């Protein structure tokens, strides 16, 4: 007990989000997806530093944790924008000018799919079906669904989000 | 107190149901009219959402599609007393779209508050489970076998046989897994069950647990369905408190626990073995079969895996008897299927009918043709892995075998309509592209074949050695069909080849670079 603090000691004394969340699921390896969802909800992404923490807590290898994070489209390795806009690119939406909506989204936000606007407000993502196929084209903003979208409505919505 | 129904289904919320509910509440308060707003499930008439209903002595009357801007004039027309308005639709139950359906699974959806246990019970809920609690597992299996129910996820495997396999297996622990990874574009029936009648799914899964001797269940819901996840979790909590789940259900010797697991944006996890790996916290990689999941499923234990609609059909089968369900349908396709009319269609929504109804009846009689009013050109049935069919094929009856014979599939009952503006070469390319994005990567035909498929279609469209490349594409498709581990790679050729077969003109463009010389 020398009382000496290194940078690492300071970090350890701060409760680690990953290990707290893992313990909520009794450190069960089969709950890895739930744990990653919760972690991402709290941090906005899955930080690199949480990989060894989760591997140790769940008693699996770091490679396995990495494998899961990289397999699923939902998990992000880097912080995202304040809002996530997911535009449906699947067939039912395509049949109702979904591609025009997608193009308008990229143009309005001045980003490509998978990118975040320069002001950090919005991350634009593609999604393949939201189950809103009879009110196409549709999209999801954070967890809020939008149907019968048009490029014009998209523009208005984005302005609202940015303000 | 006037009871006003405004759906909480996410399709209704997507077109402003929350705002409409708020506006009605505010206006009623301003006019000092005493109302109660009930957020019900959707009736499935999506083109009329938000569909607002008022309870009157004659029955429920409907108005829709209601926008916030209509609320003022609705009150002026005394809609809260059933008054006439330009959005009036009359008595809900008398609307032809609903009246002409055969709703067994969706009998309750849209009528009740989905999370009201008393509503559920008063409309026939838990009658099936109560019967099952006093039956032997084998007797339940027999009832389900009698019903002729086949897997509603798309494969159409007889549910009774699957359950019997699990029932007969000896193990210290068995599981029930519900595949709610409804990833097919054009499908939303699972979502509507989970958001609109969640106790029915709980009831169906619990019956499956008793039948197979399983005490633990999981519902694997895709993350693209945040509303369904919330509603299902709430419903499980309520059912646990009321002892319809958990230890010694309703004082019986049967116990069943249920947990929701959230997917993470991988289409392949709708394949049952990939879903099992995902439920175990792993990458969603497809497992070779055999061993079949019924014997070697979740954590290596015997597991009943069914789609939401399969489980949802079970309470009716137990309550009314397998024979009552079997009376509907044609050939070996028994019972009803909740069809989903989607895409470029005037009256999109959910239509539950017995098997045997033709595509034309669905699209024209119920759907009213295209939304744009332009001629229909193609219909994709059964999701992104289903065939594209031309107008000439619309008289096909909805039947697993009839569709298979025609080189198509019924799948999960999704019907996506396209008008004449569709470019079928682009749709074929998308099928390959989607497979490349969503392949789990375990087998080569699917992983590499899909990428090569995109490239070959690009060449065909550009007019580069068109005939040779069409041959090559056909060969590639055959390799994917024969050599893929699961339906993802094995069925991706279906939309591609059907597009070429029925719409060859879209693949025959003037050669750009070569012939221009």
- Tell me, what CATH number does B58's domain have? 3.40.30.10
Of all residues in chain A, the one with the smallest CA distance to B435 is A128
- Which residue stretches of chain B have pLDDT < 70? 511-517
B444 & B455 share domain: yes
B440 & B300 share domain: no
Query: Is A2 among the domain residues?
Result: no
Q: What is the pTM of this model?
A: 0.95
Q: What is the pLDDT of residue A8?
A: 44
CB spacing of A131 vs B13 below 8 angstroms: no
B221 & B349 share domain: no
Task: Select from B183, B184, B262 the Cβ nearest to the Cβ of A37.
Answer: B262
What is the extent of the structural domain holding A141?
83-162
B364 & B379 share domain: yes
Cα B468 to Cα B490: distance, rounded to the nearest angstrom: 23
B78 & B65 share domain: yes
- Tell me, what CATH number does B258's domain have? 3.40.50.11540
A67 & A25 share domain: yes
Q: What mean pLDDT is predicted for residues A154-160?
A: 95
B474 & B349 share domain: no
Q: Which of B413, B410, B295, B269 is nearest to B350 (CA)?
A: B413
Q: Is B63 exposed, middle or buried (0-12, 13-18, 19+ CB in 10 A)?
A: buried
Query: Is B364 among the domain residues?
Result: yes
Total domain count for chain B? Answer: 4
Chain A residues with CB-CB distance to B437 below 8 A: 128
A38 & A95 share domain: no
Q: What is the pLDDT of residue A162?
A: 82
Cα B129 to Cα B145: distance, rounded to the nearest angstrom: 17
Query: Is B147 among the domain residues?
Result: yes
Q: What is the pLDDT of residue B512?
A: 53
Query: Is B512 among the domain residues?
Result: no
A101 lies within 8 A of chain B by CB: no
Which of the four pLDDT bands, split at 50, 70 and 90, describes residue A5? very low
Which of the four pLDDT bands, split at 50, 70 and 90, describes residue A36? very high
Query: Is B20 among the domain residues?
Result: yes
Domain boundary among A30, A45, A71: A71
B87 & B220 share domain: no
What 3-state DSSP class applies to B55? strand
**Which of the residues B47, B227, B265, B498 would you substitute to probe the A interface, choosing the one with the greatest number of A C-beta atoms within 10 Å?**
B265
pLDDT tens string A87-109: 999 999 999 999 999 999 999 99
Q: What is the pLDDT of residue A142?
A: 95
A142 & A94 share domain: yes
Task: Select from B185, B299, B349 the Cβ nearest to the Cβ of A128.
Answer: B185
Domain boundary among B386, B419, B452: B419
Query: Is B282 among the domain residues?
Result: yes
Cα B479 to Cα A50: distance, rounded to the nearest angstrom: 42
DSSP for B348-367, written as a single string: -EEEEEETT-BHHIIIIIIT
Q: What is the pLDDT of residue B511?
A: 59
Q: Is B371 exposed, middle or buried (0-12, 13-18, 19+ CB in 10 A)?
A: buried
B239 & B126 share domain: yes
Q: What is the pLDDT of residue A16?
A: 86
CB spacing of A94 vs B283 below 8 angstroms: no
Q: Nearest CA to CA, how far is A7 from chain B (Å)?
A: 33
Q: What is the pLDDT of residue A15?
A: 55
Total domain count for chain A? Answer: 2
Across the A:B interface, residue pairs with CB atoms under 8 Å apart total 159
Is the pLDDT at A3 greater than 60, yes or no? no
B241 & B317 share domain: yes
This complex has an ipTM of 0.94
Query: Is B288 among the domain residues?
Result: yes
Element (H, E) at A88: strand A83-88
**Which of the residues B7, B9, B11 would you substitute to probe the A interface, choosing the one with the greatest number of A C-beta atoms within 10 Å?**
B11
A140 lies within 8 A of chain B by CB: yes
Residues B152 and B339: beta-carbon distance below 8 Å: no
Q: How many CB atoms lie within 10 A of CB B145?
A: 17
Q: How many CB atoms lie within 10 A of CB A115?
A: 15
Cα B215 to Cα B166: distance, rounded to the nearest angstrom: 13
CA atoms within 13 A on the CB side of B194: 29
**Which of the residues B188, B262, B281, B433 would you substitute to probe the A interface, choosing the one with the greatest number of A C-beta atoms within 10 Å?**
B281
Is the pLDDT at A6 greater than 90, yes or no? no
- Tell me, what CATH number does B503's domain have? 1.20.1440.230
What 3-state DSSP class applies to B231? helix
A107 & A87 share domain: yes
B7 & B76 share domain: yes
Q: What percent of chain A has pLDDT over 90?
A: 88
- Tell me, what CATH number does A104's domain have? 3.40.30.10
Task: Select from B49, B281, B422 the Cβ nearest to the Cβ of A29.
Answer: B281
What is the extent of the structural domain holding B132?
117-326
B267 lies within 8 A of chain A by CB: yes
Domain boundary among A27, A50, A71: A71
CB spacing of B223 vs A143 below 8 angstroms: no
Residue whose structure tokens are 């954070």: A142
Computed over every residue of chain A, the mean pLDDT equals 91
pLDDT tens string B142-174: 999 999 999 999 899 999 999 999 999 999 999
């Amino acid at each position: 007990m020398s009382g000496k603090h290194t940078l690492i000691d300071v970090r350890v004394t701060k409760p680690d989000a990953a290990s707290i969340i893992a313990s909520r699921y009794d450190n069960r390896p089969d709950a890895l997806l739930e744990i990653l969802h919760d972690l991402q909800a709290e941090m906005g992404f899955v930080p690199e530093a949480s990989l060894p923490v989760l591997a140790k807590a769940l008693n699996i290898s770091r490679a396995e944790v990495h494998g899961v994070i990289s397999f699923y489209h939902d998990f992000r390795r880097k912080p995202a924008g304040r809002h996530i806009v997911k535009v449906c690119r699947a067939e039912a939406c395509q049949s109702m000018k979904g591609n025009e909506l997608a193009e308008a989204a990229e143009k309005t936000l001045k980003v490509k799919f998978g990118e975040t606007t320069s002001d950090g407000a919005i991350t634009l993502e593609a999604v393949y079906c939201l189950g809103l196929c009879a009110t196409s084209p549709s999209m999801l903003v954070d967890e809020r669904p939008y149907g019968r979208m048009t490029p014009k409505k998209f523009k208005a919505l984005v302005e609202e989000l940015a303000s | 107190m006037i009871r006003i129904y405004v759906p909480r289904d996410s399709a209704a919320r997507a077109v402003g149901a929350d705002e409409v509910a708020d506006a009605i509440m505010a206006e009623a308060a301003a006019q000092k009219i005493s109302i109660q707003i009930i957020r019900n499930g959707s009736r499935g008439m999506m083109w009329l959402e938000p569909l607002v209903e008022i309870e009157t002595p004659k029955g429920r009357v409907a108005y829709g599609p209601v926008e916030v801007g209509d609320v003022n004039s609705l009150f002026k027309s005394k809609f809260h007393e059933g008054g006439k308005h330009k959005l009036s639709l009359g008595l809900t139950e008398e609307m032809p779209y609903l009246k002409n359906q055969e709703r067994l699974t969706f009998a309750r959806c849209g009528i009740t508050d989905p999370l009201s246990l008393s509503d559920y019970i008063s409309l026939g809920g838990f009658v099936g489970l109560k019967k099952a609690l006093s039956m032997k597992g084998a007797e339940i299996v027999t009832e389900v076998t009698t019903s002729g129910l086949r897997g509603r996820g798309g494969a159409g495997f007889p549910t009774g046989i699957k359950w019997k396999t699990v029932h007969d297996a000896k193990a210290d622990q068995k599981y029930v897994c519900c595949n709610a990874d409804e990833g097919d574009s054009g499908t939303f029936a699972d979502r509507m069950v989970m958001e609109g009648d969640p106790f029915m799914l709980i009831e169906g899964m619990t019956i499956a647990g008793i039948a197979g001797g399983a005490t633990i269940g999981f519902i694997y819901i895709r993350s693209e369905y945040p509303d369904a996840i919330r509603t299902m979790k709430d419903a499980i909590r309520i059912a646990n408190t009321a002892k319809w789940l958990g230890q010694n259900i309703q004082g019986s010797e049967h116990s069943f626990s249920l947990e929701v697991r959230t997917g993470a944006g991988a289409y392949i996890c709708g394949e049952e073995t990939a879903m099992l790996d995902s439920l175990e916290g792993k990458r969603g990689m497809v497992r070779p079969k055999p061993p079949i999941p019924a014997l070697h499923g979740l954590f290596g234990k015997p597991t009943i895996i069914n789609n939401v609609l399969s489980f949802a059909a079970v309470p009716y089968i137990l309550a009314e008897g397998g024979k009552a369900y079997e009376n509907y349908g044609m050939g070996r396709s028994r019972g009803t299927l909740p069809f989903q009319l989607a895409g470029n269609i005037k009256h999109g929504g959910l239509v539950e009918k017995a098997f045997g109804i033709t595509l034309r009846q669905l699209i024209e009689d119920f759907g009213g043709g295209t939304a744009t009013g332009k001629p229909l050109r193609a219909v994709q049935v059964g999701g992104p892995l289903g065939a594209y069919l031309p107008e000439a094929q619309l008289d096909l009856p909805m039947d697993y075998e009839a569709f298979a014979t025609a080189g198509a599939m019924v799948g999960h009952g999704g019907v996506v309509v396209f008008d004449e503006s569709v470019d079928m070469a682009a749709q074929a390319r998308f099928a390959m592209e989607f497979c490349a994005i969503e392949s789990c990567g375990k087998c080569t035909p699917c992983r590499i074949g899909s990428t090569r498929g995109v490239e070959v279609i690009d060449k065909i469209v550009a007019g580069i050695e068109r005939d040779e490349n069409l041959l090559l594409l056909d060969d590639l498709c055959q390799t994917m069909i024969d050599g893929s581990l699961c339906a993802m790679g094995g069925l991706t050729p279906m939309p591609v080849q059907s597009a070429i077969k029925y719409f060859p003109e879209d693949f025959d463009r003037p050669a750009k670079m070569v012939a221009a010389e």
